[in-house]
Structure 1
Amino acid sequence: MPNVQTLDPSASPLDYYGWELRHQREANNLKQGQLGDIIFCTGSLIGQIETTKKIPTRDFSERLDAALGTGGVFSRLIGLVLRSQLPTWFQPYADMEAHAAYISTYQAQLVYGLLQTEGYARALLGVDHPSRVDEMVAARLERQRILTGEAPPAMWVVLSEAALLQEVGGHDVMREQLARLLDFRDNPWVQIQVLPFSVGQHTGMMGSFNLLRFEDDPDLFYVESYEGHMTANPQVIKERSVGYARLQATALSPEDSATLIARVMEERYGDQS
């Protein structure tokens, strides 16, 4: 790992964050331990973040801004830092997702990332990335901030019934996750439908996919396997848009979907005692 004195602030958002933290701390004549005392953490953590050995959090960044009077510098930087922790192949999609006016997604097995709880995301990401799970979970939760911003996208989610039944993280995690889905019932910008097994064959059986629409840019189609593929090909957009409309028409209504989610939450993941 590079020493803090040799950090190149242009190397990455994380390097710049560490460099700026050290610069601001020294400008305020504070040692690492002193700053740690002010923002309720250890001096060791300050040092680890300054040397890019630890990923900062949004809460940490907001406390830094308050303590150092930096006018929101670190609160603005943290979004870039966490975005940089996403897989390289996924970052272009995340950038487009953050600017979409309308998101349509069909999920064949899992809850969509923007709707995942921390526990669900941690269990999921920990399977393939146990050594990086903290930063990857933080990056996923950062993505979700678009749903609570000043101009959230309109989002329509069709979930296969499999997403409700595929246990991720244990009963408690699943119960919390399904409760989170139910929390969106009163959100005017998020609609959730469940596609029940009883529909048989359907147009989404090739797997999960997303459609993004923008105010001034062409629509995008995105499909993810081990790496994602994104295209603005008009023919693909047309075919998948029609396919998605058919999924919406076949799935349970949002109201009936909420009833099914609540039933699965109680019967499958409720208190078994």
Structure 2
Amino acid sequence: MSTTLTTVQQPTVLRSSEPASSRNGENDPVLQGIARGDRNGTLKLRGIPSFSDPVAKRQWIREHMAAVFRYFGKQGYVEGTSGHISVRDPIIPDHFWMNPFAMHFSLIKASDMVLVDSQGYVVEGGNQAMINEAGFWIHSEVHHARPDIMAVAHAHSQYGRAWSAFGKPIEMLDQDTCNLYGKISVYDDHGGVALAQEEGRAIANALGKESMVCILQNHGLISCGTTVDEAAFLFYDLDRACHTQLLVEAAAANGLEKKVIPHNIAQYSANSMQSAHNFYNEFQPEFNLIVAESKGEVLQ
């Protein structure tokens, strides 16, 4: 277990006297614009931490992946052996970490993570367990197409699956959905279970160069992030948006008029929230709760 993360983290506030290495995100206007500190400006929000030791970063990645899986388990994103998350390894960039095949998300610990190479084969350095092959084809193609992305999350959530049947994007129906404005794409095809590289490549192409989330027609949702924390928050945000869209469409079908947020307001809201540091921070309350609820087991 990492000795630095055995207790609940307090990631929200730092003082200017702290070392520069811990002050990531202090110059991010989006992150610093969402909270108010002291009059002198010495209190700043923490964003994504940096690491001088790649081994420590690797352990941090596995701990946060495990917490995300347990969070997904709490949200009901488990569907048999489906669902997977990958994060690019900080030491060997063409390798990445994935969850073991057929292990319930709610039981996963940091030590359960599997390290795979660029061809999806399990290698030394992590848990010696099999992975989901469909997950490899989806994730490897996204990682290949988007070197800016460190983490990819995919699951068959109920509301995501339901809305995906329409093969349509979601509308900006509420303030929270504006977190995703301009960052959503739709894969409006379905080639069956992704057991071939071509299907993974088609999903990566649909995601494009700018989107951070994608609705996979007749399939589910996929999200990306600079951190696994960001990918988790965006996945949850998209699934909630799909739920909202379904509820609103049902009400509108019965004669109620829906109001969609205008593009300029949606863009304004997006500009106020879209930041890798901010979306990382959005997940930290859940991370802390998972650590507390598991009594630190998730970090082992």
TM bucket normalised to smaller: under 0.3
Normalising by the residue count of structure 1, what TM-score does the alignment of the two structures yield? Answer: 0.26
Greater relative contact order (CA < 8 Å, ≥ 6 in sequence) = 2
Larger-Rg structure: 1
Pick the structure with more helix per residue. Answer: 1
Normalising by the residue count of structure 2, what TM-score does the alignment of the two structures yield? Answer: 0.24
